[in-house]
């Protein structure tokens, strides 16, 4: 079946993502999982972290991968499919590697459920746009936006994976204690993994030059930026010897 591009769902989906980002900034409340799960919320049903992250992130991989698999073979190697492939690669790692390695505390089922809905929506939006709406000129691979965007995407992904690795090493399997992260970009900021992920999605927005990717980068900046700030505040409260020069998200600045 041939699917054509409908601009209105693309604009509506992107606007919804941006509004979600703005709401996160407006309410500025910590998302109640991990170190910000309040004791009042502790009665709710929880899932093992690996199960929750696997289920939550799976749609972000499966939906675009299914759309990609339906593309005609003639489009393989074109910028649209390569860029969608990169999106799938990020979520392949998050779903099948990060989830299975995590040493996180049990995760609230209600948040995992909302996360699943979010990942279905975002996965579909990015996949639909890149598969049915995006049109790139032949010289896109040599365009500065593509080159710089891919560089930032890979740099951010490297920072994100390395920082999540540092966090994982702070615990033995089965432990749920918090320690001060050291090394890598944690030397400069409390939210090093978040900084990496934000750089990654900004790079993706640049390389795709698309409204949905820009909206997702904006959402990630709001959601992860505020989370980095909440983590920083948590560390300052919890550890008297927390490094004074360390910032929340942006080295030397904030
Ligand atoms: N999942 C993105 N809002 C979210 C799930 C929740 O991938 O309705 C956004 C994502 C969703 C959210 C998602 C979207 C908004 C939702 C929300 C639920 C409600 C909300 C839908 C989809 C909503 C409105 C109303 C606006 C619509 O025990 P623990 O877990 O704390 O252990 C941690 C451990 N750790 C330490 N261990 C020892 N010592 C320490 N000091 C430690 N500090 C941390 O490390 C974890 O096991 C692990 C990482 O913890 P943390 O807190 O640093 O990262 P986390 O937030 O768990 O994220 C993990 C990775 C990370 O790489 C991050 O960049 C990426 O996932 N991520 C996370 C969230 C969103 C996102 C990416 C994105 O927007 N791109």
At residue 118, the pLDDT reads 98
Ligand 1 test: best mutation among 153, 180, 194, 198, most atoms within 8 Å of CB?
A: 194
pLDDT tens digits along 161-208 = 999 999 999 999 999 999 999 999 999 999 999 999 999 999 999 999
Which tokens sit at 237? 């409260």
- Expressed in angstroms and rounded, the spacing between residue 104 Cα and the centre of ligand 1 is 10
For the Cβ of 80 lying below 6 angstroms from any atom of ligand 1, the answer is no
Q: Are 13 and 117 in contact (CB under 8 A)?
A: no
- Expressed in angstroms and rounded, the spacing between residue 32 Cα and the centre of ligand 1 is 9
At residue 62, the pLDDT reads 98
Check pLDDT > 90 for residue 73.
no
At residue 39, the pLDDT reads 67
Give the residue-averaged pLDDT of 123-152. Answer: 97
For the Cβ of 24 lying below 6 angstroms from any atom of ligand 1, the answer is yes
Nearest CA to ligand 1 atom 10: 115
Nearest CA to ligand 1 atom 64: 194
Rounded Cα distance, 254 and 250, in Å: 5
User: How many percent of the chain have pLDDT more than 70?
Assistant: 97
For the Cβ of 120 lying below 6 angstroms from any atom of ligand 1, the answer is no
For the Cβ of 160 lying below 6 angstroms from any atom of ligand 1, the answer is yes
Judged on CB neighbours under 10 Å (0-12, 13-18, 19+), 41 is: middle
Nearest CA to ligand 1 atom 71: 220
Give the residue-averaged pLDDT of 228-253. Answer: 98
Q: Which helix (H) or strand (E) holds 107?
A: strand 107-108
Q: What DSSP string runs through 184-203?
A: GGGGTBTTHHHHHHHHHHHH
Average pLDDT of the chain? 96
At residue 4, the pLDDT reads 83
Ligand 1 test: best mutation among 20, 34, 172, most atoms within 8 Å of CB?
A: 34
């Amino acid at each position: 079946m041939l699917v054509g591009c409908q601009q209105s769902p693309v604009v509506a989906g992107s606007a919804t993502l941006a509004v979600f980002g703005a709401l996160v900034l407006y309410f500025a409340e910590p998302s109640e999982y991990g170190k910000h799960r309040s004791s009042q919320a502790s009665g709710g049903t929880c899932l093992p972290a690996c199960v929750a992250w696997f289920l939550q992130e799976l749609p972000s991989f499966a939906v675009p991968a299914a759309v990609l698999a339906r593309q005609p073979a003639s489009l393989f190697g074109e910028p649209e499919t390569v860029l969608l492939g990169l999106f799938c690669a990020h979520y392949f790692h998050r779903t099948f590697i990060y989830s299975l390695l995590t040493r996180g505390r049990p995760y609230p089922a209600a948040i995992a459920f909302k996360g699943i809905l979010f990942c279905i929506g975002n996965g579909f939006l990015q996949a639909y746009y890149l598969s049915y709406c995006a049109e790139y000129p032949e010289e896109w691979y040599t365009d500065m936006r593509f080159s710089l965007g891919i560089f930032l995407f890979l740099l951010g992904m490297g920072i994100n994976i390395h920082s999540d690795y540092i966090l994982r090493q702070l615990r033995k399997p089965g432990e749920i204690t918090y320690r001060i992260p050291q090394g890598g970009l944690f030397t400069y900021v409390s939210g090093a993994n978040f900084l990496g992920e934000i750089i990654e999605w900004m790079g993706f927005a640049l390389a795709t030059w698309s409204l949905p990717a820009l909206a997702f980068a904006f959402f990630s900046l709001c959601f992860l930026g505020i989370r980095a700030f909440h983590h920083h505040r948590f560390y300052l409260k919890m550890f008297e010897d927390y490094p004074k020069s360390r910032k929340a998200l942006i080295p030397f600045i904030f």
